[in-house]
């Protein structure tokens, strides 16, 4: 069956080639079992990298890190053919993930070097995520410095909070305005 012979009635009543029927099922699915490259590569990226990093499954990430450079090459090739900007985003995400994997391995190696000689002492290491303050307090700490005994100046905190409502404000703009107070 040739692709050009699949015709359906559109909502206008005219017959035309239409890959999707009103049932939502593709009429091409019977013709070709191959998944389009962009869906296939995105599925691979999610299954092998994004989902494991979200679940902090470093073992799967380490097992798949060797594939990152090859996937980035394919993303570059597909981008040249299609100009699909999402492919560039996936390329940058993979670069960030690779850097994160490298940093995690460096930290693991450092922990092993620090604690491997003390066999007589029982040690337990627990990695906990960093506790983040509200954005206005984090910015206060960066711009002015962390106050003693967490005695934040409420006026400055409120001012920073009001500045954060400005869409796409940069850190430098915030810093300049806070220092003007």
Band (pLDDT 50/70/90 cuts) for residue 150 is confident
Q: What integer is the mean pLDDT of 22-36?
A: 53
Tell me, what's the pLDDT at 126? 73
Q: Would you list the domain boundaries of the chain?
A: 37-115, 135-180
Q: Given a cut of 90, is residue 163 above it in pLDDT?
A: yes
Q: What integer is the mean pLDDT of 135-152?
A: 91
Convert the pLDDT of each residue in 89-128 to its tens digit.
Answer: 999 999 999 999 999 888 888 888 877 766 666 667 677 7
Higher pLDDT: 138 or 31? It is: 138
Helix%, strand%, coil% for the chain, nearest 5: 60, 5, 35
Q: SS3 of 6, please?
A: coil
Q: Given a cut of 90, is residue 8 above it in pLDDT?
A: no
d(CA 73, CA 70): 5
Percentage, residues of the chain above pLDDT 90? 31
Q: What integer is the mean pLDDT of 65-81?
A: 89
Q: What integer is the mean pLDDT of 54-67?
A: 87
Give the H or E element holding residue 8.
Answer: strand 8-9
d(CA 89, CA 64): 19
Q: What integer is the mean pLDDT of 149-178?
A: 91
**Average per-residue pLDDT in the chain?**
80
pTM of the predicted protein model: 0.55
Closest CA to 90 of 73, 66, 112: 73
């Amino acid at each position: 069956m040739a692709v050009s012979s699949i015709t359906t009635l559109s909502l206008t009543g005219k017959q035309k080639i239409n890959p999707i029927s009103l049932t939502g099922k593709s009429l091409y699915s019977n013709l070709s079992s191959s998944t389009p490259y962009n869906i296939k590569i995105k599925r691979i990226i999610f299954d092998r990298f994004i989902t494991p990093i979200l679940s902090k499954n470093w073992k799967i990430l380490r097992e798949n890190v060797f594939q990152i450079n090859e996937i980035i090459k394919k993303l570059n090739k597909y981008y040249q053919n299609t100009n699909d900007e999402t492919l560039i985003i996936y390329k940058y995400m993979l670069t960030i993930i690779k850097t994160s994997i490298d940093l995690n391995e460096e930290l693991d190696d450092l922990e092993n070097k620090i604690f491997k000689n003390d066999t007589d002492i029982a040690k337990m290491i627990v990695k906990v995520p960093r506790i983040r303050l509200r954005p206005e307090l984090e910015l206060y700490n960066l711009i002015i410095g962390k106050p003693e005994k967490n005695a934040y100046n409420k006026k400055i905190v409120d001012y920073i909070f009001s500045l954060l409502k400005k869409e796409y404000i940069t850190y430098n703009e915030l810093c300049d305005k806070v220092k003007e107070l």
